[in-house]
A and B are shown apart, each in its own frame.
Chain A
Amino acid sequence: IQLTQSPSFLSASVGDRVTITCRASQGITNYLAWYQQKPGIAPKLLIYAASTLQSGVPSRFSGSGSGTDFTLTISSLQPEDFATYYCQQLDKYPYTFGRGTKLEI
């Protein structure tokens, strides 16, 4: 299953609302997770089951969607949110990741 993330790069400012999309090549119900990754650090789980916020993740992060179309929204960007974001499908083997969205200031 291929995951197409868009955009690949996103420039935004502190306080902005941003949305990243992830489209699956076939339906995956809600078997989707979102990660944040900063340079030199392992990915950090933000959202799983498409819309469930991982414990300890700020509520400005939210996820939605089902089937083939999913979104990650950050309601009000904070300085620490500038990073690369990946989606991952866990519906069928092999598990796959999107190519990432780099969020820049």
Chain B
Amino acid sequence: EVQLVESGGGLVQPGGSLRLSCVGSGFRFGGYWMSWVRQVPGKGLEWVGNIKEDGRERYYADSVKGRFTISRDNAKNSLYLQMNSLRAEDAAVYYCARERLMEWIWGQGTVVTVSS
């Protein structure tokens, strides 16, 4: 069974940093693009960015470009989201997703709270 499990969420002060992780199982992790998507509770979905199978291409939403970095370690079946210079508006549930063309599978999400 394909499974994605995010972790690393928590409370961080504005201007602070946080690193999220996503571990995949039940599939060949290194064979897929991976994305991060976030959702402010009670609001809509926002794509954050993605990374190619070998990590050599990455794309980001304008709202996070220059502050967030996506990386992966295929040997550990892991995807990461390094979030720096966090703002109140970055508070959300963060989901990782496996891309297979347009057929995405999502994790259960991890909550990030940005507050002083």
Contacts and interface: CB of A to CB of B under 8 A. Distances in A.
A10 to B, nearest CB: 16
A86 interface: yes
Interface stretch (A16-24, A65-73, A74-82, A90-98): A90-98
Contacts, number: 50
B105 A88 contact: no
17 contacts: A35-B45, A41-B108, A42-B108, A42-B109, A44-B106, A45-B104, A48-B103, A54-B103, A86-B45, A94-B59, A94-B60, A94-B61, A95-B47, A95-B50, A96-B47, A97-B44, A98-B44
Size class of B's contact patch?
A: 20 to 34
Interface residues of A, number: 23
Interface of B: 35, 44-47, 50, 59-62, 95, 101-109
A42 B95 contact: yes
Nearest to A98: B44
B37 to A, nearest CB: 8
Main secondary structure of the interface of A (DSSP, over half): loop
Given A86-B45, A97-B47, A48 B102 contact: yes
A45 B47 contact: no
B62 A33 contact: no
Nearest to A43: B106
Contacts of A98: 44
Contacts of B50: 95
A54 B100 CA distance: 12
B109 A95 contact: no
A41 B102 CA distance: 20
A60 B35 CA distance: 29
B59 A86 contact: no
Contacts of B101: 48-49, 90
Contact of A95 (B35, B103, B107, B108): B35
A95 B35 CA distance: 10
